[in-house]
Structures are given as structure tokens and as C-alpha cells.
Amino acid sequence: MKIQIILGTTRPGRVGERVAKWVEAGAKEINDFEVELVDLADFNLPLLDEPISPRYNPERNPNTAAKKWLDKVGQADGYVFVTPEYNHSISGALKNAIDYLDYQLAKKPAAIVSYGTVGGARSAEHLKAVLIETKAAIVPEAVALMDFSNVLDKDGNLDAEVAAKPYGPAAALKTTLNELSWWTRTLKAGR
């Protein structure tokens, strides 16, 4: 099953890269996952300016960057969105990227790993509402990572003491990824 880890921020100096690397490493431990890290910064999407909503435009002709994004997202069977919390919500870059989608996420599972103040819980809540409109199936389990700059090194390695906690972020990530595996397998069979 093809799983994409989507890094939901494009800011220079972002810590989201280390969070995404941590998620990617965890996802690679799931036997039936073929994992790809997808970085929004690689797509350079302009602000959505299509005159008709992508979902309701049968004659849609997306710009080159959008076409590349749509093709990439359409390749996966399931997703993990890694989202920061900016002003109690998701980044503008992530919202814009999702706005470009039409049916790429439909009937596919999406898990959320958030980070920031209060673990990025408010951004995760907003992201769930946005993803529901894409027809994605939201995996109920999630990861809310607090104090991320002190628990993850620059390569995305979790502090050993934190990793050993039975109810810490490592356990939450493992549970979330195992659920994503079930949802992905089940929904893929149903599509």
C-alpha cells in the first residue's frame, strides 16, 4: 500500500521536516507500507485562482504546478498529514494545496500528526474538517506532538527517554500508523 507523508508547511527553517522524518521512519516499520515523504515546498503552488471549484469543473485545466501536485497525491492509497499549528489552524500552504484537490483523496484514509502549542490540537481539528470535504476517511487516532524542538533532533530521531514512555508520542504514532494500515487495506478493497 502506498502511503504518503505530506509535510504541511513550506516555511524556511521549519521544524516540520524533523517531525515528518520521524513519521516517515515509523511508517517504514509497517510491513505493508510503501512510504513516500511528499514536501509541499517541492510544488511551489500558486494561490488557487481557478474560476470554478476544482470539484465542479469537468473541463478543468490546472496549471503545471497543480497538475504535478494532483498527479502525486493521486498515486497514494493513504496519507499522513504532518501539520504545524499557525494561529490556531493549519498553514496557508497546506490549505491552499488541499483546495487544489478534486477527488484524489476520495475514499482514502488520512491520519494526522500535529505539532505546536497544545500539540497542534487546534490545527488537527481544523484539518479534519477540511479533509472531510475532500471525501477522505479520517483515521480517528492521531498524534499531537508537544515540545517537539526538545524531543526530536534535526534528523527526526525521538529522544530515547521520551520514546520509552508507554503513552508518549512513539506509542501514539505506532497506534495511529497501525490504524492507518487497517483503514488503507479496508478502503482499498472497497474502492
Q: Cβ distance 57 to 50 under 8 Å?
A: yes
Residue type at 83 in one-letter notation: T
Could you report the per-residue pLDDT of 133-158, keeping only the tens digit for each? 999 999 999 999 988 788 899 999 99
The pLDDT of residue 148 is 79
Domains of the chain, with CATH numbers?
2-190 (3.40.50.360)
* Sign of CA pseudo-dihedral 53, 55, 58, 63: positive
Could you report the per-residue pLDDT of 37-90, keeping only the tens digit for each? 999 999 999 999 999 999 999 999 999 999 999 999 999 999 999 999 999 999
Please give the average per-residue pLDDT across 155-178, as a whole number. Answer: 93
Could you report the per-residue pLDDT of 114-134, keeping only the tens digit for each? 999 899 999 999 999 999 999
For residues 37 and 144, give the distance between their C-alpha atoms in angstroms, rounded to a whole number.
19
5 pLDDT band, cuts 50/70/90, is very high
The pLDDT of residue 37 is 98
| Total Cβ atoms within 10 A of residue 20 | 24
